[in-house]
């Protein structure tokens, strides 16, 4: 459990683990220099439950990746179950997930992710491909279901520790810089390295927290651009020319550039941050493979991305308005 400024939520997450219907678990919490009561709350639970161990980092990492991987290193068990400090699980989550894992001889098993506000009825985080539910996949084949949209959910889960450690070791050469969204990169490496994986019909409760990096309105949101650059290198070094994985990773980068340009309009950045954001957008634009994407992305947005950023930014606003009007008139999904 990585934790950062989760004071209002971490007790719920800890108690969800304590309520599990199986024993033999330990909870390892690594606090990423929280400035609120998170660390104190975690330590209060550890003081009364020896199955809980708490570690505090001496410098903040800026994302969940570093404290999560440190927690995995501290873990004494053979199976890792990631749980963020503001999320939750049902009381039979570990028991049921472990049953799926053993029956399917799986190295990684993932639940379906539901958005949850802590009180109301959970709703799907986003729509996965339910035809894949319960289906064992070769790990390297599962990667394509995470590109240009998550057709399988990969939050939480039960994962062999040795698989996690091997996958984390493969990220060392690309680690550094903005660490937000680096978990998503690790997920693809983990899947690639796994023998058999599956998404199963169990619930992981993802708390919709407007204070998280995912929902923040600052430059860390542009960490998706660096993530997409890493993914292009990863996929192109492992999948052949003409593969579905290559098409999907390049479509993800194309859509990511368009979304980053929209984000740049909305974010309130200072001069240096704005310059850095524009450099990152330019780096990802340079990686757009127009040959592989021909006929596979919106020609209007493709034309925009051929223009200098100073021209394409205002034109993107106009294009979004036009496409939004057409969508409203037709009821069709706006092409990206």
> How confident is the model at residue 213, as a pLDDT?
46
276-284 average pLDDT score:
93
Question: For the chain, what percent of residues have pLDDT higher than 70?
Answer: 90
Q: pLDDT tens digits for 96-114?
A: 999 999 999 999 999 999 9
Where residue 330 falls among pLDDT bands split at 50, 70, 90? very low
Interatomic CA distance for residues 271 and 116, integer angstroms: 37
What pairing do the DSSP bridges indicate for beta strands 123-124 and 27-31? unpaired
Give, for 216, the enclosing helix (H) or strand (E).
none
> How confident is the model at residue 323, as a pLDDT?
67
Q: pLDDT tens digits for 212-225?
A: 544 445 567 788 99
Chain centroid to Cα 313, Å, comes to 27
Going edge to edge, which strands form the sheet with 2-3? 2-3, 27-31, 52-56
Q: Would the pLDDT of 254 be above 80?
A: yes
Q: Rounded to 5 degrees, what are φ and ψ at 58?
A: -90, -15
238-247 average pLDDT score:
97
b/e map of 62-96 (b: 16 or more CB within 10 Å)? bbbbbbbbbbbeebeeebbbbbbbbbbbbeebbeb
Q: Would the pLDDT of 59 be above 90?
A: yes
Three-state DSSP class for residue 145 = helix
What pairing do the DSSP bridges indicate for beta strands 108-116 and 196-207? parallel
- Verdict on whether the full-model pTM lies above 0.85: yes
b/e map of 13-42 (b: 16 or more CB within 10 Å)? bbebbeebeeeeeebbbbbbbbeeebbebb
Q: Identify which of 218, 180, 213, 236 has the alpha carbon closest to the alpha carbon of residue 86.
A: 213
Q: Identify which of 180, 187, 221, 225 has the alpha carbon closest to the alpha carbon of residue 65.
A: 180
> How confident is the model at residue 208, as a pLDDT?
82
Kindly write down the DSSP assignment for every residue of 269-297, as one continuous string.
Answer: --HHHHHHHHHHHHHHHTT--HHHHTTTS
Give 138's DSSP letter. Answer: E
In terms of residues, how long is the chain? 336
Q: pLDDT tens digits for 3-39?
A: 999 999 999 999 999 999 999 999 999 999 999 999 9
Cβ atoms of 264 and 277 closer than 8 Å: yes
């Amino acid at each position: 459990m990585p934790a950062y400024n989760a004071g209002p939520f971490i007790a719920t997450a800890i108690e969800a683990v304590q309520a599990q219907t199986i024993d033999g678990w330990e909870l390892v919490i690594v606090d990423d220099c929280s400035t609120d009561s998170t660390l104190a709350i975690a330590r209060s639970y550890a003081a009364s439950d020896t199955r809980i161990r708490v570690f505090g980092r001496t410098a903040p990492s800026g994302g969940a990746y570093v404290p999560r991987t440190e927690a995995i290193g501290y873990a004494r068990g053979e199976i890792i179950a990631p749980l963020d400090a503001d999320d939750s699980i049902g009381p039979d989550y570990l028991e049921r997930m472990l049953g799926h894992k053993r029956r399917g001889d799986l190295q990684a098993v993932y639940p379906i992710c539901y958005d949850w506000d802590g009180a109301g009825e959970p709703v799907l985080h986003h729509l996965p491909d339910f035809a894949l539910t319960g289906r064992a996949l070769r790990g390297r084949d599962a990667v394509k279901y995470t590109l240009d949209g998550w057709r399988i959910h990969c939050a939480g889960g039960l994962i062999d520790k040795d698989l996690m450690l091997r996958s984390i070791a493969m990220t060392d050469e690309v680690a550094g810089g903005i660490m937000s969204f680096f978990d998503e990169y690790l997920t693809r490496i983990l899947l690639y390295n796994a023998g058999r994986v599956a998404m199963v019909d169990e619930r992981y409760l993802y708390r919709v927290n407007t204070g998280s990096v995912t929902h923040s309105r600052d430059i860390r949101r542009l960490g998706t651009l660096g993530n997409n650059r890493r993914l292009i290198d990863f996929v192109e070094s492992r999948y052949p020319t003409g593969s579905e994985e290559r098409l999907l990773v390049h479509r993800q980068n194309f859509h990511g550039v368009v979304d980053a340009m929209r984000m740049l309009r909305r974010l309130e950045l200072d001069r240096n941050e704005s310059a850095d954001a524009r450099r990152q957008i330019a780096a990802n634009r340079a990686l757009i493979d127009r040959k592989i994407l021909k006929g596979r992305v919106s020609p209007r947005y493709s034309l925009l991305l051929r223009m200098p950023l100073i021209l394409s930014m205002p034109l993107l606003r106009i294009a979004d308005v036009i496409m939004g009007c057409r969508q409203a008139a037709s009821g069709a999904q706006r092409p990206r």
